[in-house]
Structure 1
Amino acid sequence: MAHRFELRVYYEDTDLAGIVYYANYLRFIERGRSEWVRALGVDQARLRAEQGIVFAVRRVEADYLRPAVFDDVLVVETGLVELGGARIVLDQVVWRGEERLFAARVVLVCVGAAMGPVRIPEGVRGLLEGGRARSAGAV
């Protein structure tokens, strides 16, 4: 089962047509990823402060399937697909009840202070591996 993060659509998330503005789905899945790593026990602020390492988005492949609207309660599911030396591939899906609204495959890269790729530390790798069985099957 994928990690699940619930959120509500606010007026500020919508456009003139009253539907969620397309770029806001990227914000929603960012929150889902942050909560996913937190739930796995990865402290991103501590990782940056102590080792100078952060996770940066390298690529997003997204499908907008159905619109969300003001006051909808959405769930972002996040699951690990692949864990490489410096790369993390995730599937993320945004649901409204049983309706699949948005799906994305996201590639993250672990980068150091010089913003170049660095290997994911073994301790962090072990924690992230715990998210593998929770794949969301996005795209």
Structure 2
Amino acid sequence: MLHSDTRRLTYNDTDPAGILYYASWFPKMEALWSDFLFCNGYRQDQSLATRGWTTVTRATQCEYLVPARLFDEIRLELRVGAAGTTSFPVEYRMVRFEDDALVSRAKTTIVLVDGAQRAIRIPEDFRRQLAAWAQ
């Protein structure tokens, strides 16, 4: 795990039956990813100007495995997978703090793009950083 955050579920996240509301999880995952990048010196608001590229999400998937109740504390965990030519996966786990139950797992595919929003090869310096994070 590279980065994590713990959040208490609100009614926006789940209903009284423990059914997770899918639309509330993706913003939490994106916030964890943005915070991780920021903490590691990669500011998304400056990346295009300073590096000539930025990141966009190309694909998402999420599996909901067990119910989570209102006010459960959930630990969101982030991992980075092996990079391809222009993209790499970011993997997430949502774990209930109380019993360490895996509530859901997700993956986003991140692509590097230039100012015209065209996919570009991952630059070697960033590729090395991704490889270090993937270990």
Both proteins in one fold, TM over 0.5:
yes
Structure 1 distance, partners of 2:19, 2:107, is 23
Matched, 1:85 2:64: no
What's 2:121 paired with? 119
> Which stretch of the first structure deviates more once superposed, 60-69 or 91-100?
60-69
The number of aligned residues is 133
CA gap of 1:43–1:130, structure 2 versus 1, over 3 A, is: farther
Identity of aligned residues (%): 29
**What residue ranges of structure 1 are gaps of 5+ in the alignment?**
134-139
What's 1:29 paired with? 29
Are the aligned partners of 1:57 and 1:108 in contact in 2 as well (CA < 8 Å)?
yes
* Letter in structure 1 aligned against 2:104: F
* Letter in structure 2 aligned against 1:84: G
* Letter in structure 2 aligned against 1:74: I
Are the aligned partners of 1:82 and 1:90 in contact in 2 as well (CA < 8 Å)?
no
What's 1:46 paired with? 46
Matched, 1:129 2:131: yes
Structure 1 distance, partners of 2:67, 2:38, is 28
Q: Offset of 1:19 from its aligned partner?
A: 4.5
What's 2:63 paired with? 63
* Letter in structure 1 aligned against 2:123: P
What's 2:105 paired with? 103
TM-score, with structure 2 as normaliser:
0.81
* Letter in structure 1 aligned against 2:37: V
Q: Offset of 1:45 from its aligned partner?
A: 1.6
CA gap of 1:96–1:16, structure 2 versus 1, over 3 A, is: closer
**What residue ranges of structure 2 are gaps of 5+ in the alignment?**
none
> Which stretch of the first structure deviates more once superposed, 76-85 or 6-15?
6-15
Q: Offset of 1:15 from its aligned partner?
A: 4.6
Structure 2 distance, partners of 1:86, 1:11, is 38
Structure 1 distance, partners of 2:72, 2:52, is 38
Structure 2 distance, partners of 1:41, 1:51, is 12
- CA RMSD after TM alignment: 2.3
* Letter in structure 2 aligned against 1:30: E
TM-score, with structure 1 as normaliser:
0.79
